[in-house]
Structure 1
């Protein structure tokens, strides 16, 4: 890599890549003979590239003396400043709307929150493609930043990762031991082809299964980024049918555990994916939810004979499993059989269940949000040990099994994050109620934004574009909450630490 490019700030490089990506929807609109939209994307991308190139030249002279701090600031800037760039072409394309609505829409996309302020038919196919592409790039930023920026700082869930992982990487000269700029370049070159290849494979499978090419690429990018963005033809209404849902479910594993796509972080365990703690606890939770909704058919007040044929039973099982997995990974897709699963269980729309799954979240160093499965597992293992001490108070507690692999202070860090997460839900809910929202709506929006599960608000509140009905103050709070949920509170606290700013 040329020296001049190495000296360009990371945020500027991200902005240059972001501007160049506008040529893809421009080409898509040109193919569809939507020349006005093609011009908007092309001219916006070209003007931004010229402007950013000048900024890159001006900022490449001085090298930051604290690259780790600079990269963490770049992450914050990527989720707050890049959405303003993404709005530029939409100002000419989306009629009769305000800049604030478009900005919140793009913040929801780049933070992989998803959801939308607009009805699907109000946006063109190229605009839907741009939303999915913005979210896809945001997901890749999360992949790279987790390994190259957050892992060395013990943030983003790595504070409870196995202690021997870091020691092994230090001996191998892995990503946690190299210089900050070297870590970022290594993550880009390693994860970039993997991310692109996985998206292409899923797109090909969905096209073969019968989806339209544009819809398939949107769903493929939304699955890899766990954004849940669609063009109006949802997974439930897709012509790919059950095959498409199975393919999407299979690729959601990359939002459960980093061991499924990362070899640099823990090479010893990549061959033993079945033993991964995050994967196991995710499968247990999905199985528990599926069994609960299925067995509820017989133990609830619903008549046994209401739905009893085998096709309905299979549909109820698959609908529950797919939807539970989707919301656990904070994607937010619904199965075509989800309504049948609700009818089978007799619970209607189990909103609390979906909210709880989103709060649990996916894996560390993935695009999923929420508390993260590894932290949940850490708290569970610690709770089990404390329960044993209650039963046998005179026993000597030792760190064995899973607890021995948790670094010193990992349990305390997990508790701190969980309490910060719960406090954030309470604080955001209170702030939203002050703007005029009811308690249920405010709580739903708070959880949806903090867990980066935008479709959750639409499912629970029961309407597409639910965020568009919010007051302007609530939209601003929601956008800030999405950024908080994507970066996590501990990363923002690290930015506010005075010691972090001392050279």
Structure 2
């Protein structure tokens, strides 16, 4: 085996982070921002050189607990790596504290998209490019970890699929399915990279043709595929480019939030794609919720006698649909036509509904956060069955063995995760309240952070909170909440399982 293939996973992550710093180096030099270019160049060389030295020193170290080491590496990546990634922006922006830079990088790496910058327009484009790249690489890391690490361990939503197929979720032998060393990670990375990079490149080209400039198109493409919503401007993610750009973004958002796009084992079978319950649920919600909101705004428009014709009604309907899709995929951006919908009816933003959509999240093995649609589907099927039993107590449910398993074992596991998710929100709320934040704001911040939907504060909150104005304690609590939401509580609880640590 080649020496570099024996490097720990965390070393690969540090090396890739160092190499990625050369991209803002070249961009900064091309636009005349030589101060940022030199800084990223020096940091990139230093980090890359350090990663090589650490890798060589650990190359001969034999790791026996592969499941433990890989899962711990993922935890260490989200906790430690932001402290390395924030060095260039902290040095480049002297007014930014180290904690503020750490918060910014945790938010980017977890694809949350919350920012401490109150006025993004005064920040150099090179820094915005670095933020967008970290969010994009964080989305890639999440999908890679889900397919190569969490799937064999039956966590991260895969425990529901194991229950459907009759396997015991999180069984004692699940960790043995990991290949030796980093073989499984490397094999998964070879399969994932062309898809993830290809979708980003295709979206970038389509946004260019739709009218966006090169820099905006690159940041928007990375923000959409990673569902981070990180851009260089405030307001709608499409800017002033019009409805065509939002339609293109919507198509790729559905792809990014659908796990079958990245999961080769599910994508090979066309029938599996057509029967994918997560995609069907996503499209169903995308039809039902905007329809409900449209009727709500339509009634409001009648009351104020401001229907405005078919054109304004269509713009309002599209603004509702795109915004709902954005929150459901945990990107949290708003449509450029959302203001049209509000002006059309004069009604306030339904913040609680958007919080529920963000908490619901996207598919398993996707870049979206939240509870995951597969778990929601399992609870939905169980609820339908329980209502049937209220009227017909002696009825026998059909639909096959897989459906019976998802109603029983799948719903039980999903319910456990839902309780852990709600408990995490409660603990985060109490911790934020201890820092002096009122309970309503604390609940909104907890949901936004745990579901990794940072830009959503502009619509969820009546008066959006500036993350940079929060206390140091509150920022640290939010950092921990973002990491917990990205890794999921079950993954962290697995570290406390005695059988998991047994050699």
Shorter-normalised TM range: over 0.9
Structure 1 position 305, deviation (Å):
2.3
SS in 1 for 2:303: coil
Structure 1 position 76, deviation (Å):
0.6
What corresponds to 1:435 in structure 2?
Answer: 435
What corresponds to 1:53 in structure 2?
Answer: 52
Query: 2-side partners of 1:178 and 1:71: how far apart?
Result: 9
Q: In structure 2, do the counterparts of structure 1 residues 53 and 382 end up closer, same or farther at CA, with 3 Å as the change threshold?
A: same
Q: How many equivalent residue pairs?
A: 494
Contact persistence 2:66–2:178 (CA under 8 A): no
Structure 1 position 345, deviation (Å):
4.4
Structure 1 position 441, deviation (Å):
1.1
Query: 2-side partners of 1:55 and 1:267: how far apart?
Result: 39
What pairs up with 1:85-124 in 2 under 5 angstroms?
Answer: 85-118=84-117, 119-124=119-124
Contact persistence 2:148–2:184 (CA under 8 A): yes
Contact persistence 1:176–1:183 (CA under 8 A): no
Report the more deviating stretch, 281-290 or 471-480. 281-290
What pairs up with 1:302-451 in 2 under 5 angstroms?
Answer: 303=303, 305-397=305-397, 400=400, 403-404=403-404, 406=406, 409-451=409-451
What corresponds to 2:478 in structure 1?
Answer: 478
Query: 1-side partners of 2:293 and 2:407: how far apart?
Result: 37
What corresponds to 1:294 in structure 2?
Answer: 294
Query: 1-side partners of 2:212 and 2:290: how far apart?
Result: 27
What corresponds to 2:224 in structure 1?
Answer: 223
Query: 2-side partners of 1:405 and 1:3: how far apart?
Result: 44
Structure 1 position 151, deviation (Å):
0.7
Contact persistence 2:298–2:307 (CA under 8 A): no
Q: In structure 2, do the counterparts of structure 1 residues 74 and 243 end up closer, same or farther at CA, with 3 Å as the change threshold?
A: same
Structure 1 position 304, deviation (Å):
5.8
SS in 2 for 1:231: coil
CA deviation vs aligned residue, 1:231-278 (integer Å, no higher than 9, x gap): 01654562432111111100011233211333224633x455343211
Query: 1-side partners of 2:284 and 2:409: how far apart?
Result: 27
Query: 1-side partners of 2:211 and 2:306: how far apart?
Result: 33
Structure 1 position 187, deviation (Å):
0.8
Structure 1 position 353, deviation (Å):
1.3
Contact persistence 1:389–1:397 (CA under 8 A): no
Residue 214 (str. 1) matches residue 215 (str. 2): yes
Structure 1 position 16, deviation (Å):
0.5
SS in 1 for 2:265: coil
Report the more deviating stretch, 60-69 or 255-264. 255-264
Query: 1-side partners of 2:465 and 2:179: how far apart?
Result: 44
Structure 1 position 406, deviation (Å):
3.1
CA deviation vs aligned residue, 1:315-374 (integer Å, no higher than 9, x gap): 011000000000000001211101112233443121111111101111011010111100
Contact persistence 1:228–1:332 (CA under 8 A): yes
Contact persistence 2:355–2:447 (CA under 8 A): yes
SS in 1 for 2:296: helix
What corresponds to 1:172 in structure 2?
Answer: none
Residue 198 (str. 1) matches residue 199 (str. 2): yes
SS in 1 for 2:223: helix
Report the more deviating stretch, 363-372 or 180-189. 180-189
Contact persistence 2:378–2:407 (CA under 8 A): no
TM-score, normalization by structure 2: 0.93
Aligned-CA RMSD value:
2.2
Query: 2-side partners of 1:11 and 1:318: how far apart?
Result: 43
Query: 1-side partners of 2:238 and 2:267: how far apart?
Result: 39
What pairs up with 1:256-267 in 2 under 5 angstroms?
Answer: 256-265=257-266, 267=268
Q: Structure 1: give runs of 5+ residues left out of the alignment.
A: 168-174
What corresponds to 2:188 in structure 1?
Answer: 187
Residue 68 (str. 1) matches residue 72 (str. 2): no
Query: 2-side partners of 1:233 and 1:279: how far apart?
Result: 30
Q: In structure 2, do the counterparts of structure 1 residues 382 and 275 end up closer, same or farther at CA, with 3 Å as the change threshold?
A: same
Structure 1 position 88, deviation (Å):
1.1
Query: 2-side partners of 1:260 and 1:405: how far apart?
Result: 25
Q: In structure 2, do the counterparts of structure 1 residues 78 and 25 end up closer, same or farther at CA, with 3 Å as the change threshold?
A: same
CA deviation vs aligned residue, 1:408-439 (integer Å, no higher than 9, x gap): 73221100000000111111011101100011
Query: 2-side partners of 1:176 and 1:112: how far apart?
Result: 30
What corresponds to 2:489 in structure 1?
Answer: 489
CA deviation vs aligned residue, 1:190-229 (integer Å, no higher than 9, x gap): 0011111110111111112121211111110010110011
Contact persistence 2:149–2:178 (CA under 8 A): no
Contact persistence 1:25–1:126 (CA under 8 A): yes
Q: In structure 2, do the counterparts of structure 1 residues 434 and 358 end up closer, same or farther at CA, with 3 Å as the change threshold?
A: same
